[in-house]
Amino acid sequence: MTIQQDNKLITPLRSFPRIVGTIAIVISCLVFVGWIYDRELFKNGFPGLVTIKANTTLCLVVLALFITVLLAFSIPLVAVAQDKIRIKPDIGGFFEVWHVLDERSTPPNGSTNTFRVRRARLIISDSLSELFYYRLQVVHEGSQTKLFDAFIDIRWKPWLQWRIGQFKYPFTLEGLENALLLPFILRSESVNFLGSNPGSEGNNFRDIGIQMMGSLSYPVVLHYAFAVINGNGINTVDNNNSKDVVGKLEWRFQKDISFGSSAFIGRVQTASASQYTEKAYNLYFDYAPTFFQGVKIRSEFVKGRIMNVNVSLPQDISGQNLNGISVLGSYKLQKPLPPIEAAIRWEQFVANESNSSYKIRMSTVALTYYVDGLSRVRFNYLIRKAGTDVSGPTYVQEAQGVGNEIKNLFLTQFLLIF
């Protein structure tokens, strides 16, 4: 059923001088950047206002930015002139069945040859109007069902949009990419580990907060996103007064070449109320030539430090500097040829830079047949060479609970979109 409702334009405050709004935005941005780069400067608040602490300062800056944009540039939040509110949600999702063939002698579940339902997702989304969009996503993995996405977008202009709720925060290229679009069954080890473990409970690349994002098209296409989040994972409140900051910039040249960088900084609190700083940054390159349809070349580097002491990470990994790099290439046959895609990826992940034993190198070969759209059958063979540490499997995908034994792996994915 479709419900349509005509709305009249709410008279904007056009008498508000835009120059005042511009000045306010510039000042707020300067304070915001200063807070990111030197928290000590604001740990006791602004001079003369010692009662305003760092996090209060940050929240006030974000709130001031939001209100300033609303007033100075006249964003009607309730309706747009002659716009129609449309309530007709899109309901869909997908589920995956895996077959795992492991060369280890002592796999965690007692079998080297097994089928399993990897995940099932139900997604509800809708553009209520040209201004508003929402998305809900519920995921069942293993024996748990969780709410992954629950956010609303305010899409005022291409260069200025807001997202509020629980969402994927803007860190790394591969982490932000939809799992349906990845050319491999598993994400690279470094992106998966660093992107899904920050905070006290881990977060599946997601958190709760507010994000400002947009795209500029002159002189080159620039995509940006900055978010202020709890930093404590999904479906929970923050466990400290500090807020984490995440940001991402991407430059796109000639529609087929992209360079980007992302970073986050935040505080994590232990069960004993001790707090530690987590931080990371990321660089990436993505090339999909328009003159040769179907080709994709990508490289991504990540480096950082996470604590995550409340998740089962080895003590000699938690709080250590780590890094990783991956390089991949893929090609999908174009019509009228069969929809087959071949891909190869090389990667290295070092979970503790001070100990060479915490290193894994991996090559993944993939072959995919697309049955209908993105519904597919995919085969991955992972050639893995790990260090000699006894805790390695705790930070390697599909290797948990087996001492220090990490062997090659053959994965088959059956994925159906509905």
pLDDT at residue number 108: 58
Sign (positive/negative) of CA torsion 8, 14, 19, 21?
negative
Among the ranges given (100-114, 198-212, 357-371, 372-386), the one the predictor scored with the smallest mean pLDDT: 100-114
CB 60 within 8 A of CB 27: no
Average pLDDT, rounded, for the chain: 79
Where are the domains positioned within the chain?
Answer: 17-72, 89-417
Structure token digits, residue 359: 């290193």
Asked whether the predicted pLDDT for residue 45 surpasses 50, the reply is no
Degrees (nearest 5) of the Cα angle 50, 51, 54? 85
Q: What is the pLDDT of residues 259-312, one digit of tens each?
A: 999 998 887 766 655 677 888 999 999 999 888 899 999 999 999 987 654 445
Degrees (nearest 5) of the Cα angle 232, 195, 323? 125
Sign (positive/negative) of CA torsion 193, 194, 197, 203?
negative
pLDDT at residue number 278: 83
Under CATH, what is the fold of the domain 89-417?
Answer: Porin (2.40.160)
pLDDT at residue number 11: 37
CB 43 within 8 A of CB 52: no
The set of residues, in sequence order, having a beta carbon less than 8 Å from that of 262 and lying 6+ positions away, is 170, 171, 172, 173, 246, 247, 248, 249, 281, 282
Calculate the CA 271 to chain-centre distance: 26
Structure token digits, residue 264: 């986050």
Q: What is the pLDDT of residues 156-191, one digit of tens each?
A: 889 999 999 999 999 999 999 998 999 999 999 999
Confidence of residue 32 (pLDDT cuts 50, 70, 90): low
pLDDT at residue number 201: 59
For residues 343-361, give the mean pLDDT.
Answer: 87
Task: Provide the greatest CA pair distance for the chain.
Answer: 74
Burial 387-413 (b: 16+ CB within 10 A, else e): bebebbbbbbbbbeebeeebbebebeb
| SS3 annotation, 3-26 | EEEECCCCCCCCCCCHHHHHHHHH
Burial 192-206 (b: 16+ CB within 10 A, else e): bbbbbbbbbbbbbbb
Pairing mode, if any, of strands 206-216 and 160-168?
Answer: antiparallel
Peptide linkage before 289 cis (omega within 30 of 0): no
3-class SS of residue 77? coil
CB 379 within 8 A of CB 411: yes
Measured between alpha carbons, how far is residue 205 from residues 129, 141, 187, 247 in Å?
28, 15, 12, 13
Q: What is the pLDDT of residues 188-238, one digit of tens each?
A: 999 988 877 666 556 688 999 999 999 998 778 999 999 999 988 888 888
Hey, which of 23-27, 39-43, 74-78, 145-149 has the most confident mean pLDDT? 145-149
Asked whether the predicted pLDDT for residue 401 surpasses 80, the reply is no
User: What are the backbone dihedrals phi and psi of residue 124, each rounded to the nearest 5 degrees, phi first?
Assistant: -120, 125
Asked whether the predicted pLDDT for residue 367 surpasses 50, the reply is yes
Among the ranges given (27-41, 127-141, 253-267), the one the predictor scored with the smallest mean pLDDT: 27-41
Among the ranges given (97-111, 159-173, 373-387, 394-408), the one the predictor scored with the smallest mean pLDDT: 394-408
Q: In sequence order, which ranges of 38-53 are alpha helices (DSSP H)?
A: 39-42
CA terminus-to-terminus distance, the chain: 20
Asked whether the predicted pLDDT for residue 314 surpasses 80, the reply is no
Q: Give the predicted TM-score (pTM) of the model.
A: 0.78
